[in-house]
Amino acid sequence: MILHIINRSPFTTNHLKNCLEVISPEDALLFMDDGVYALQGDLLKTLPFKIHAIEMDLQARGLNDSNSSATLINYAQMVELVAKYPLSKTWF
């Protein structure tokens, strides 16, 4: 079980694409910072793993999660999420 953390926009990097090539169904994705821009399409709706996003990061960028299946969390919940997974990988 790995928590994959995406903090860069999928429109400026290949980090999300690379992550999706190796992620497993028991893993999870966390979008934060500019990574939340990935929630603006339909791609993530059909993925077989848990998706989380920092709500404040969406709000700071004027985005909403209406097209997303992500669970919105705050920073305290992010700490709990990181502690829940034995491994985490931030895609830089």
Per residue in 35-66, pLDDT (tens digit) is: 999 988 777 878 889 999 999 999 999 987 66
* Mean pLDDT, residues 85-92: 95
Tell me how far CA of residue 67 lies from CA of 24, 34, 41, 63, 92, in angstroms: 23, 17, 7, 10, 25
The predicted structure's pLDDT at residue 44: 80
- In the structure encoding, which two tokens stand for residue 68, read together? 């997303």
Q: Which domains does the chain have, with CATH numbers?
A: 2-91 (3.40.1260.10)
The predicted structure's pLDDT at residue 81: 96
0.85 exceeded by the pTM? yes
Tens of pLDDT, residues 8-40:
999 999 999 999 999 999 999 999 999 999 988
